[in-house]
Chains A and B, each alone.
Chain A
Amino acid sequence: MSNSLQFLVAMGSNAHMAQLNPAQYAAAVAALDLDDDSRAALLDRDGDRLGALLGGRQILSCLIAPAEDEPAREGGEEEPEPDDDGERNA
Chain B
Amino acid sequence: MGAAGSLVCVGLGMLLGAHISPRARSHLEQADVVFVLASDSLTELWVQSLHADVRSLQPCYGEGRSRHDSYRDMVALMLDEVRAGRRVCGAFYGHPGVFAKVPHVAIATARGEGFEAWMEPGISAEACLYADLAIDPGRVGCQHYEASQFLLYRRRIDPSAYLVLWQVAIAGDRSLRRSATPAPYRQLLVERLLQDYPDEQRAIVYEAATLPIHTPRCENIALTHLPQVALSLKSTLVLPPSRPLQPDSILQVRIAELDRIHAAVPSTNPQGVL
Chain A residues positioned under 8 Å from B192 (CB to CB): none
- State whether A47 and B58 are in contact (beta carbons under 8 Å apart), knowing that A5-B49, A59-B38, A88-B116 are contacts in the complex: no
The main secondary structure of chain A at its interface with chain B is loop
Asked if A81 is at the interface (CB within 8 A of a chain B CB), the reply is yes
Chain B contact-residue range equals 35 or more
Interface contact B212-A12, CB-CB below 8 Å: yes
The main secondary structure of chain B at its interface with chain A is mixed
A:37-63 near B, CB below 8 Å? 42, 45, 47-48, 50-52, 54-63
Residue of B nearest to A70 (CB): B68
Interface contact A57-B56, CB-CB below 8 Å: yes
Shortest A77–chain B CB gap in Å is 10
Q: Which of A5, A65, A80, A87 contacts B42 (CB 8 A)?
A: A5
Asked if A23 is at the interface (CB within 8 A of a chain B CB), the reply is no
Selecting from B144-152, B246-254, B258-266, the interface stretch reads B144-152
B:213-235 near A, CB below 8 Å? 213-214, 233-234
Q: How far is the CA of A61 from the CA of B49 in the complex (A)?
A: 22
Interface contact A10-B17, CB-CB below 8 Å: yes
A:58-90 near B, CB below 8 Å? 58-68, 70, 79-83, 87-90
Interface contact A12-B17, CB-CB below 8 Å: yes
Chain B residues positioned under 8 Å from A18 (CB to CB): 18, 212
- State whether A64 and B74 are in contact (beta carbons under 8 Å apart), knowing that A8-B42, A9-B17, A54-B42 are contacts in the complex: yes
Chain A residues positioned under 8 Å from B233 (CB to CB): 61-63
A sample of 9 cross-chain residue pairs with beta-carbon separation below 8 angstroms, ordered by A number, consists of A9-B46, A42-B213, A47-B210, A60-B63, A62-B37, A62-B93, A65-B99, A66-B71, A89-B115
The 8 closest A-B pairs by CB, nearest first: A12-B17, A56-B41, A67-B148, A51-B41, A65-B99, A9-B17, A11-B212, A12-B18
